[in-house]
């Protein structure tokens, strides 16, 4: 794979050369063409995955079909055009209603997490509200206290962005019982084949997973704006 990656380097550079600067920055270190060859070799049904990653993903409209999950069609409750038509008024209403959570620790945690994302290049701002293009949505970010930290939540449900998504598949999330049963089945199969066996397990977690994949250029311009309550200035900040 390392050798093949080197062979594809020039083609990889050409592929990324056609991307917008923002998408190219996010995907700069990703070996997309090698990933595509491995998907084909593995017989993946998600034949458009690499192309989708290159183009970036929309936050509204019809989700791309992966062919990996159960089919389930759920049309958007609010089509994209009506969402755009009410977005300007919704932004004004939201900005006038951004308030403290009532917990100074939570407010400070949201600001701290947001500034950290800015430092890492995931966010830009503050942004002047007047510079937001017509029809663009604004989403409120609030905080949830979790043990020793505050987790920032971007409420795309309240901004109606989620309501404008048409779903074509459903992802089934399994609980610990399912994981335990799967582990038991794997151990039983290994024991039948090899006799006594020792279980060795590892948890893999992709760092900043949602930041590894770009938004489409359209979604970035229209649906990437978030607003927080800045407890230092006692005012909303985009």
Dist CA 138 CA 132 (whole Å): 9
Dist CA 94 CA 158 (whole Å): 10
Question: Given strand 165-170, what is the order of strands in its sheet?
Answer: 61-62, 165-170, 70-74
Task: Please state the domain count of the chain.
Answer: 1
Does pLDDT of 190 surpass 90? Answer: no
Residue 82 lies in a domain: no
Condensed to tens digits (0 to 9), the pLDDT of residues 117-162 reads 999 989 999 999 999 999 999 999 999 998 889 999 999 999 999 9
Dist CA 196 CA 163 (whole Å): 52
- Cβ distance 84 to 60 under 8 Å? no
Residue 31 lies in a domain: yes
**Measured CA distances, 50 to 9, 54, 59, 168, 196 (Å):** 16, 6, 18, 19, 41
Residue 3 lies in a domain: yes
Residue 212 lies in a domain: no
Does pLDDT of 199 surpass 80? Answer: no
Domain containing 47 equals 1-55
Total number of residues shown for the chain: 238
Q: Mean pLDDT over residues 191-200, rounded?
A: 80
Condensed to tens digits (0 to 9), the pLDDT of residues 12-55 reads 999 999 999 999 999 999 999 999 999 999 999 998 999 999 99
Residue 13 lies in a domain: yes
Percent of the chain predicted with pLDDT > 90: 82
Instruction: Give the pLDDT of residue 208.
Output: 81
Residue 47 lies in a domain: yes
- 136-154 exposure pattern, b = at least 16 Cβ within 10 A, e = fewer: bbbbbbbbeeeeeebebeb
Does pLDDT of 193 surpass 90? Answer: no
What secondary structure letter does DSSP report for 229? E
- Cβ distance 100 to 238 under 8 Å? no
Condensed to tens digits (0 to 9), the pLDDT of residues 68-79 reads 999 999 999 999
Give residue 95's pLDDT band: very low, low, confident or very high (50, 70, 90). very high
Q: Mean pLDDT over residues 206-211, rounded?
A: 83
């Amino acid at each position: 794979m390392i050798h093949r990656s080197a062979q594809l380097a020039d083609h990889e550079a050409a592929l990324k050369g056609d991307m917008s600067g923002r998408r190219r920055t996010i995907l700069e270190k990703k070996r997309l063409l090698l990933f595509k060859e491995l998907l084909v070799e593995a017989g993946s049904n998600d034949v458009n995955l690499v192309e989708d990653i290159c183009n970036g993903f929309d936050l509204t409209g019809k989700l791309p079909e992966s062919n990996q999950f159960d089919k389930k069609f759920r049309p958007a409750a609010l089509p994209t055009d009506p969402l755009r038509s009410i977005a300007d008024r919704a932004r004004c209403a939201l900005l006038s209603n951004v308030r403290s959570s009532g917990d100074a620790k939570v407010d400070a945690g949201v600001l701290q997490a947001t500034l950290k994302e800015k430092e890492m290049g995931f966010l830009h701002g503050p942004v002047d509200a007047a510079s937001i293009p017509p029809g663009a949505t604004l989403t409120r970010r609030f905080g949830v206290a979790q043990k020793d930290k505050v987790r920032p939540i971007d409420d795309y449900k309240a901004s109606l962005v989620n309501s404008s998504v048409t779903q074509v598949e459903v992802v089934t999330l399994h609980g610990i019982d399912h994981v335990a049963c799967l582990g038991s089945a794997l151990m039983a199969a290994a024991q039948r084949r090899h006799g006594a066996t020792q279980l060795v397990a590892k948890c893999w977690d992709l760092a900043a997973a949602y930041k590894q994949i770009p938004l489409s250029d359209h979604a970035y311009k229209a649906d990437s704006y978030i607003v927080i309550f800045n407890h230092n200035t006692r005012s909303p900040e985009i």
